[in-house]
Amino acid sequence: MSDVKCERRGAALWIIIDREERRNALNEDVAHGIADSIRLAQADRSIRAVVLTGAGDRVFCAGGDVKPDADGNPFDVDPAQPRNPIVELFKEMERCDVPIVARVNGHAFGGGFGLVCACDMAVAAEEARLGTPEARIGLFPMMILPYMLRVVPRRALLEMCVTGEPWTADEAKALGIVNHVAPVAELDEKLDWFLERFVHNSPTAVRLGKHALHAVQDMTLPQSLDFAQSFLAQMARTQDAREGFRAFNERRRPDWPAR
């Protein structure tokens, strides 16, 4: 039985970490399962969003499975094949041109918090707590550090890492880590409202825009300006852009060709 489930719900593909008895902890199989599911979303142009969540209503993901009887320990690295499955998952998430939304249904700690940061956006239950407790067991959140640095203000991030203390969902929202917060009973209603705000927009514009955002974030300012002016000209030649211009002038809803 797979530890990761996929469900098509409207325009979104839901990816569910289904290890509630292990607090939806990460292991090699889970990392591969999420990555495979993301590739499925990439291959289906009718999917406009990916929702990543955990089973149940208490834990989104408790991080790496470090129990003594854990299979597929994410901290093990084969020196003959140094490709950590969690790192490979993050790279797959980076390559994904469909928006990935974290449905933070419960606590997100360690690698689970890293998953939240690796997603493009997040909607969290107000009961959720988010944090990196690794320092309390003699580690530091190394593999998720690159994504945390892109999402969390530096001084707040360092405080979280050295104290191991979690934040509430509201505190995470104030820092810009999650987009929206709702009571757990209203989480799916808030998520549906959020998805509806963008799944009907041009899939080509969203896809190319996400690609551009990832490209620009590591460029110098002059490089990013040069990239932007050439990439915008490329986007204007897409069929979606042409349909959008026509629909605007004809005062109707666009019928996106998704090209």
Catalytic residue numbers, as ranges: 134
For residues 72 and 79, is the Cβ–Cβ distance under 8 A? no
Chain centroid offset of residue 124 CA:
12
Q: How far is CA 180 from CA 2, 58, 83, 139, 188, in A?
A: 30, 18, 34, 30, 12
130: closest CA among 139, 140, 122, 142?
A: 122
DSSP per-residue string spanning 48-99: -EEEEEESSSSEEE--B--STT-SS-TT--BTTB---HHHHHHHHHHH--S-
Structure tokens at 81: 């094949």
Q: What one-letter code names the amino acid at 66?
A: V
**Rounded distance, CA 90 to CA 144, Å?**
9
